[in-house]
Amino acid sequence: MVLADNIPKLSVLIPNFNGEAFLGRCLDSLAAQSERDFETLLIDNGSTDRSVSIAQEHQLSVRVLRLKENQGFAAAVNVGLDSARAELVAILNNDSQAEKNWLENLVRCASQRPEMDFFASVVLRDENRSRMESAGVGYTLQARAKPLFADKPFSSRPENLEVFLASGTAVLFRKSMVAKIGKMDPDYFAYLEDLDFFLRARLAGLRGMLCPGAMVYHKGASTNLLDRPGHKPIESSRRVFLISRNRWYLVWDNLPTGLIILLAPLIFWGWLRGFFYHLFRSGQISSFLAGTLSGFFSLPARSKKRAANKKLRRLGASELLTWMSKGWKTLP
């Protein structure tokens, strides 16, 4: 909803693929926002359900950008960025429901902290709203993503934190950041593309923080990649392949060579944990290995991106190690 014909204060991007089951409540939560000066863009990845109709008929006056086929989360965000009119850009997953002051609190953080470039939300589990799914994201010495404060009670949510990375589930960033580091990498298709985006920002010397008053509820892994639903949903082979492949993309694209060598034993240990998990628990060991091989041997194909990222790098290896060790620090 935009209050005037001028450029809105915020642009909210919602990538969507067959989100009929939960898109309505996501849009309802945006319509109820205390901050009113924003535009909403739904970027649809070739959905075959009613989700586009839901958006077009919604009271929110959603701008729908339609892709002919599913090009992935990153490509959808990039299409939205090309059309977004505001300097402040928020991404919200279509399976999320925002508290009514979500945007207001994000705008307040951005206004009060002009030195910060991106702003993480407190993401709560939809099935247990007293527990956090994440409050920022770390990237460990095993080269694995780590949601910060995961499963901690909401009552213990942290305040005044600078966080290493942010989750694309619900986040705000300045559009000027895109001009410095580029858009999301569509090669990832889905999973970890948001971490690549914010890791590039970090390595380029940009900063991010947690906005503790900006809260959303997230269903999690609701995009249809042929998972098997149920009380204990089982990951699809497609999901396992993409995550295991993209973990290596993150390493090759972003980590300095010396750091990769230094961390090699820990990275291998992190891979071994995944190996045994998929061998004995998920049953998707073949997809895990296929993704590993695809990602591990992608270094020649990733060399151009790696070189481009190296030119942007301003964060030293020792500081990067410090961030990877913890993932957050208290702001003054």
Instruction: Give the number of other Cβ atoms within 10 Å of residue 64's Cβ.
Output: 17
Residue 128 belongs to some domain of the structure: yes
- Judgement on whether residues 248 and 213 belong to the same structural domain of the protein: no
Residue 63 lies in a domain: yes
Domain that holds residue 194: 10-218
127: three-class secondary structure by DSSP: coil
Q: What is the 3-state composition of the chain as percent helix, strand, coil, each rounded to the nearest 5? A: 45, 25, 35
Question: Total structural domains in the chain?
Answer: 2
Q: How far apart are CA 186 and CA 90, in angstroms?
A: 18
28 assigned to some structural domain: yes
Answer whether 83's CB lies under 8 Å from 8's CB.
no
Question: Residue 243: inside a domain, yes or no?
Answer: yes
Which domain CATH number covers 41?
3.90.550.10
Helices and strands: H and E segment counts in the chain: 11, 13
Say whether both 114 and 213 belong to one domain.
yes
Per-residue model confidence as pLDDT tens for the chain (332 residues): 655 458 999 999 999 999 999 999 999 999 999 999 999 999 999 999 999 999 999 999 999 999 999 999 999 999 999 999 999 999 999 999 999 999 999 999 999 999 999 999 999 999 899 999 999 999 999 999 999 999 999 888 888 899 999 999 999 999 999 999 999 999 999 999 999 999 999 999 999 999 999 999 999 755 544 444 444 456 889 999 999 999 999 999 999 999 999 999 999 999 999 999 999 998 999 999 999 999 999 999 999 999 999 999 999 999 999 999 999 999 98
Pair 250, 289 in one domain: yes
Please report whether residue 101 resides in a domain: yes
Report yes or no on 229 lying in a domain: no
**Residue 4 domain-assigned (yes or no):** no
As a dihedral over the C-alpha atoms of residue 50, residue 51, residue 53, residue 55, rounded to 10 degrees, the angle is 160
Residue 319 domain-assigned (yes or no) = no
Residues 182, 275, single domain; the answer is no
Q: Are residues 164 and 308 located together in one domain of the fold?
A: no
* 328: β partners: 163
- Its sign, for the CA torsion 277, 279, 282, 288, is positive
Residues 168 and 279 in one domain: no
Buried b (16+ CB within 10 A) or exposed e, 293-304: ebbeebeeebee
